[in-house]
Structure 1
């Protein structure tokens, strides 16, 4: 299936004269073989069922195919908030439950960015992030802070005094989104043993 614009561009590419193009388009519309409404309905339905694209990316795709804005708004109504919520929740669980060496906050920020790039609206993303419960225990977060903290220690160890090293490591870990109590635990267990 093609949109009217796609068909016109195809015929122009094949060097068909404009008068014939108009005639072909008119005839196909009369026969019911060229219908932008049916095309956009089918495209949106297919994208909902088979892709991880959000409404904004689907809207962009429809605009590129020459579909009118009023028709786009109408067909995107089938991509309800609930459907988007389910898709975002599934993607969020998959991404956040994977093992990582980043803080939970960094993971959430990266998730939000990924979902925005996939075309989901900020409203849906915020709702999911606020409601989702992640199977991440403190041990996972501590392993991540040890990984990041050791990198910071090796970076500053030879350049800084003990006090300055602790301050730089604390600041670096805080910037990476780790909670203060976990940072202090890392400093106590890791750096205080070393000095």
Structure 2
């Protein structure tokens, strides 16, 4: 059974149907909310990360600010909680030092004051203890390697994770001392 086609009168455009009939500009506020909700579904994000994505999608600044303010007001966006969570997990799981964590928070757009508060959760003794754990783990895979090369590898691993030279050398000396390996006095990078 065939459907009858509606014809338009001469000089009139045919009635729009299908996708073309629905080709309307999306509501900027709806787009901003959708972006924020989509980003927050996977993992916590900073306000700056969400604002950046909205800017990439051409959401007007005033609309983005309004949506971000509302999400902050209801607790869906909380840079303080985000920074505390990031510091805690990255330090415990990946062994990152305060310096590396500060850089990561800065890359994610967290305010410096909020980042500094979150970083206070890591005490110097916690950082030193974590460095020793990392060296112990890495030292197992470097047994039998030339002592100078081994120290250099251990030092490089800790430097990539943001540990300063003092903390790194103390951790390396402690772990290698436990293995009854003589510390090398003239070690330079």
Establish whether TM, by shorter chain, passes 0.5.
Answer: yes
Q: Does 1:61 align with 2:104?
A: yes
Per-residue deviation, 1:124? 1.8
What secondary structure is seen at the aligned counterpart in 2 of 1:41?
Answer: helix
Per-residue deviation, 1:100? 4.3
Which of the pair is proportionally richer in helix? Answer: 1
Q: Does 1:98 align with 2:156?
A: no
Per-residue deviation, 1:75? 0.8
Aligned length: 139
Match of 2:179 in 1: 135
Report matched runs for 1:43-54 at 5 Å: 43-54=86-97
Q: Residues 89-111 of structure 1, C-alpha deviation per residue, up to 9 Å, x if partnerless?
A: 11212223435453222211221
State the alpha-carbon separation in 1 of the partners of residues 139 and 112 from structure 2: 35
Closer/same/farther in 2, CA of residues 109 and 99 from structure 1, 3 Å limit:
closer
Please say if residues 97 and 135 of structure 1, whose CA atoms lie closer than 8 Å, have aligned partners that are also in contact. no
Structure 1 counterpart of 2:113, from 70, 79, 82: 70
What secondary structure is seen at the aligned counterpart in 2 of 1:109?
Answer: helix
- Runs of 4+ aligned residues of structure 1 deviating over 6 Å after TM superposition are none
Q: Residues 133-170 of structure 1, C-alpha deviation per residue, up to 9 Å, x if partnerless?
A: 242569xxxxxxxxxxxxxxxxxxxxxxxxxxxxxxxx
What secondary structure is seen at the aligned counterpart in 1 of 2:87?
Answer: helix
State the alpha-carbon separation in 2 of the partners of residues 116 and 50 from structure 1: 17
Match of 2:45 in 1: 2
Gaps of 5+ in 1: 139-176, 178-195
**TM-score normalised by length of structure 1:** 0.63
Match of 1:86 in 2: 129
Gaps of 5+ in 2: 1-43
Q: Does 1:20 align with 2:59?
A: no
Closer/same/farther in 2, CA of residues 136 and 25 from structure 1, 3 Å limit:
same
**TM-score normalised by length of structure 2:** 0.65
Please say if residues 3 and 66 of structure 1, whose CA atoms lie closer than 8 Å, have aligned partners that are also in contact. yes
